[in-house]
Amino acid sequence: MAVSPTGTSVSGLTEAEAKEFHGIFITSFIVFTVVAIIAHFLAWQWRPWLPGPHGYATSWLTDHGSLITHTISQLV
């Protein structure tokens, strides 16, 4: 097995390169997580995963007017 040169790790990255990669990885993971949370929130607002006792038919989001009203009230 070849001996790695001084200053590199098993991955072949130097300490500075590894820290840079780690920073990019963590930032990307946080952005992905935030986008996923927003997507799940919007999906829940559109169609709750646990419908009420009468199902989706009696949802308060049955027409565009109530959807717009609800969206604006959530933003304010």
pLDDT along the chain (76 residues), means of 10: 60 93 98 98 86 64 65 77
The rounded distance, in Å, linking the Cα atoms of 25 and 31 is: 10
pLDDT at 73: 79
Q: Is residue 54 part of a domain?
A: yes
Are the C-beta atoms of 34 and 27 separated by less than 8 Å?
Answer: no
pLDDT at 17: 94
- Specify the number of domains making up the chain: 1
The rounded distance, in Å, linking the Cα atoms of 39 and 43 is: 6
Q: Is residue 42 part of a domain?
A: yes
Q: Is residue 2 part of a domain?
A: no
- Other CB atoms within 10 Å distance of the CB of residue 45: 13
Q: Which 3-state string (H, E, C) describes 21-60?
A: HHHHHHHHHHHHHHHHHHHHHHHHHHCCCCCCCCCHHHCC
pLDDT at 18: 94
Domain hosting 70: range is: 15-75
Q: Is residue 50 part of a domain?
A: yes
pLDDT at 1: 38
pLDDT at 61: 52
